[in-house]
Structure 1
Amino acid sequence: MEDLLKPDYGVMILTVCNFLLLVYLLKKFAWKGIIGALEKRERQIADDKKQAQEARESAEQLKRELDEKLAQIADEAAKKMAEAVRVGETQRDQILAAAKEQSERLAEQAKAQIEAEKNQALAEVRGEIARTAVLAAEKVIRQQISEASAQEAVNRVLEEVKAK
């Protein structure tokens, strides 16, 4: 067990020689390739970061443009909606005015028609009264009767007119 704790200088020298030989071989054949690959990877990462930043900026610019266009579209839609409401109100007012005018015209026509019918009815009544008076006078003359019987004949004729 004591032999395990004592250093073996031969093995130690061989290990150091192997390590130095390994460092020399790595430096001669692999070090440039490893360093080149690491530098290439570092450049690739830097380029990727730069492209990602540019893409982010481009996306933010596109988002700002789209937000502006959306705001413009919303403004245009609001303007068109207000215009449509205004046109609708104008048309409603025109329709109401036309309807009012037409109703007034119809009322005037109805009044004129009623007046004409009233005048016609009055003319008919006047004509009937005149005919009745003539008939009564004719009956009175034909009968040549007394005033009481004439009055009775007139009353009969008036009742006949009322009955019609």
Structure 2
Amino acid sequence: MDKLINEFSAGLFFWQIILFILLLLLLRKFAWKPILKAVEQREEGIRNALAAAEDAKKEMQNVTADSEKLLQEARAEREAMLKEAREIKEKMIADAKAQAQAEGEKIVAQAQQSIEGEKKAAIADIKSQVAELSVEIAEKVLRDQLSDKNKQLKLVDQLVSDIKLR
């Protein structure tokens, strides 16, 4: 350092300052401006990328919210469809039961009518047969009793005694 101070030359110092200033001016014009411009462009690109990322994030949130909303609507629609299908199924089962019940009652009523008709026909047939048998028996008894005069008189007396006067 002593050597620098002892060998100090004002001319050399002057030219060094001029060269340094000239170098600074050249660097400013040709290096700093393009470097600063590149840095500014890079900053602008980063800002734009951040803004685009923010927009994408917002859009993604909107899409997520829309998809969630659509998913909820789809779930609600599915639930409504399932509920409607259950109601239709229950209605169909109830209708089928009611129809089966009505048809069963109709068949039972027809069977009861058929049984009643058969019963009346059987009773009428039995009455007819009983009447025929009664007439035949009465005819045979009367023939037997009326064939003899003593028996006829005895029958008349018996019938008269059975009659009660009021």
| 1:42-121 correspondence to structure 2 within 5 Å | 42-121=43-122
Q: How far has the Cα of 1:89 moved from its partner?
A: 2.2
Q: How far has the Cα of 1:24 moved from its partner?
A: 6.3
Q: How far has the Cα of 1:50 moved from its partner?
A: 0.9
Unmatched runs of 5 consecutive residues or more in structure 1: 1-12, 147-164
Q: In structure 2, how many angstroms separate the alpha carbons of the residues matched to 1:67 and 1:104?
A: 54
Q: In structure 2, how many angstroms separate the alpha carbons of the residues matched to 1:136 and 1:42?
A: 136
Q: How far has the Cα of 1:54 moved from its partner?
A: 0.8
Partner SS, residue 115 of structure 1? helix
| 1:23-34 correspondence to structure 2 within 5 Å | 26-34=27-35
User: Which shows bigger deviation, 37-46 or 124-133?
Assistant: 124-133
Q: How far has the Cα of 1:136 moved from its partner?
A: 4.4
Q: Deviations over 1:126-146 (max 9, x none)?
A: 22233334444556648x999
Q: Which amino acid aligns with 2:100?
A: A
Q: In structure 2, how many angstroms separate the alpha carbons of the residues matched to 1:45 and 1:121?
A: 110
Q: In structure 2, how many angstroms separate the alpha carbons of the residues matched to 1:39 and 1:90?
A: 74
Q: How far has the Cα of 1:56 moved from its partner?
A: 0.5
Q: Deviations over 1:10-33 (max 9, x none)?
A: xxx9xxx8x968766544433322
RMSD: 3.3
Q: Deviations over 1:33-80 (max 9, x none)?
A: 222122211211111111011111111012112212221222232233
Percent identity between the aligned chains?
A: 30
Equivalent residue, structure 1, for 2:159: none
Q: In structure 1, how many angstroms separate the alpha carbons of the residues matched to 2:113 and 2:23?
A: 128
Unmatched runs of 5 consecutive residues or more in structure 2: 1-11, 149-166
Equivalent residue, structure 2, for 1:131: 132
The normalised TM-score by structure 2 is: 0.61
Q: Which amino acid aligns with 1:53?
A: E
The normalised TM-score by structure 1 is: 0.62
Question: Whose radius of gyration is greater, 1 or 2?
Answer: 2
Q: Deviations over 1:68-106 (max 9, x none)?
A: 222122223223322332333233223222221221121
How many residue pairs were aligned? 130
Higher relative contact order (CA 8 A, sep 6+): 1
